[in-house]
Amino acid sequence: MSMIDDLDGTIAHTTVEFNLDSFVYEIDLSSSHAAQLREALAPYVAAARRTAHNWPGHGVFGPPYLPESRVAGPRVREWARAHGMSIAQRGRIPSNVLEAYQRRNAA
């Protein structure tokens, strides 16, 4: 399964995770878009202080990270549509959809 750049729909080469205003974000990007993002953030990163590792799965910002979503993405999207949920063709699957999918499939 190849990744799709969330900005323009081309082939993505990496997933970039970042934290801003107590929210954790993840975006799939091509190498050039990832470089542009890092370049844009470089002055802020240089002036910032590093803190404890507060990424998903560490219990700091809401529900645990759901790594299987990357592998099961097409299955999750199909399930969500079959259950009347509105979901985009590409990009990150909303956490409420992933949680509903997991609850339904755990039962």
pLDDT in tens, 29-54: 999 999 999 999 999 988 988 776 55
> Containing domain of residue 87, as a range?
68-106
**For residues 1 and 78, what is the distance between their CA atoms, to the nearest angstrom?**
16
Supply the pLDDT for residue 107: 53
> What burial letters (b/e) apply to 74-85, b meaning 16+ CB within 10 Å?
eebbebbeeeee
- The distance between the two most distant Cα atoms of the chain, rounded to a whole number of Å, is 48
Supply the pLDDT for residue 104: 78
**Are 19 and 50 in a shared domain?**
yes
Q: When comparing pLDDT for 73 and 29, which is higher?
A: 29
Give per-residue pLDDT as tens, 55-72: 444 444 444 444 444 556
**Are 11 and 47 in a shared domain?**
yes
**Are 53 and 74 in a shared domain?**
no
Assess whether pLDDT exceeds 70 at residue 81: yes
Assess whether pLDDT exceeds 70 at residue 75: yes
**Are 39 and 79 in a shared domain?**
no
**Are 7 and 56 in a shared domain?**
yes
Query: Structural domain tally of the chain?
Result: 2
